Amino acid sequence: MFRSNDIDIILKILEDKINILDRKKERNMLLIIPKDSPIENLYITFKPIPLSLEKLTVFWSEIPIGPVINNQKIYRAFKSLESEINYSGLIFKRIVFIPRRELVKLSNKIRGLQIREDLCRYLNSDNDLLKRIAKIKPHRLEIKLGIKTELGEEIPKSVKVDKISELYEIASYYDPPENLYWNIVLEAYLVRGLTYPRKIFETYKILEDLSFKIIKFCSLLLKN
């Protein structure tokens, strides 16, 4: 659960970046609507760490792709690009983007679903971004096509139960939603202390910079 001063802390840290900060008490989350950002909605909540009293901070962002022609074709093309981070190296851990693991599983169940590493290569070419992500040490960072959550509706299932159901993903592949959105989900253990405000702000900037890069990449892809 949120500590009593969590709202004030996050509001103070991000006050120059947001239009609205809302508290959804019954859902134990914050809803942030950024300004001058590709992120339309940003949800912040907490997730218990098993066998621990500590919690991961979960950031769930919605980035609209906008109306597109031939929605099913575009959805399938973008679906094949879904990515997540992976740590490599025994001593010095290095972060790289790889195809989303759940997507690999789905490719065995959805005929015609091909996995492409174009977005992974595009993001991996930005060494500065990778170093910034490494400093946050995310437990999880995923980029995937997802659902749009209208204000007042139930919080996305991926925030509550960790991931969208396999059945939803299969159904969406054959009957995609009218409006397409990217979801970036980042989970990190952010220790309270002197560095906490900086890490909250840097996490927000990472999500925003990732959003800009994804939109740019998709725009180039749509032109081809």
pLDDT over 90 at 134, yes or no: yes
Poorest-confidence range of 74-83, 100-109, 138-147, 167-176?
167-176
User: What pLDDT score does 160 carry?
Assistant: 44
Residue pLDDT, tens place only, 109-132: 888 888 999 999 999 999 999 999
- For residues 160 and 164, what is the distance between their CA atoms, to the nearest angstrom? 10
The number of residues in the chain equals 224
Name the residue type at position 154: E
Listed in sequence order, the residues at least 6 apart from 120 whose beta carbon sits closer than 8 Å to its beta carbon are 83, 96, 97, 98, 99
User: What pLDDT score does 129 carry?
Assistant: 96
Name the residue type at position 125: S
Indicate the pTM of the whole model: 0.86
Phi, psi of 135 (to 5 degrees): -65, -30
- Matching residue, tokens 């892809």: 221
Q: Per-residue DSSP letters for 43-91? A: EEEEEEPTTSS-EEEEEEEEEEEE--SSHHHHHHHHHTT-EEEEEE-SS
Give me the residues paired with residue 145 across strands.
Answer: 182
User: What pLDDT score does 209 carry?
Assistant: 96
- For residues 165 and 15, what is the distance between their CA atoms, to the nearest angstrom? 34
126, with CB counted inside 10 A (0-12, 13-18, 19+), is middle
Which of 95, 81, 62 lies closest to 188 in space, CA to CA?
A: 95
**CA–centroid distance for 215 within its chain:** 13
**pLDDT-derived band at 222, boundaries 50, 70, 90:** confident
User: What pLDDT score does 161 carry?
Assistant: 41
Please give the C-alpha separations between residue 55 and each of 49, 50, 59, 163, 209, in angstroms, as whole numbers: 5, 9, 13, 18, 25
- For residues 83 and 165, what is the distance between their CA atoms, to the nearest angstrom? 17
**pLDDT-derived band at 152, boundaries 50, 70, 90:** very low
Of residues 195 and 28, the one with the higher pLDDT is 195
User: What pLDDT score does 148 carry?
Assistant: 58
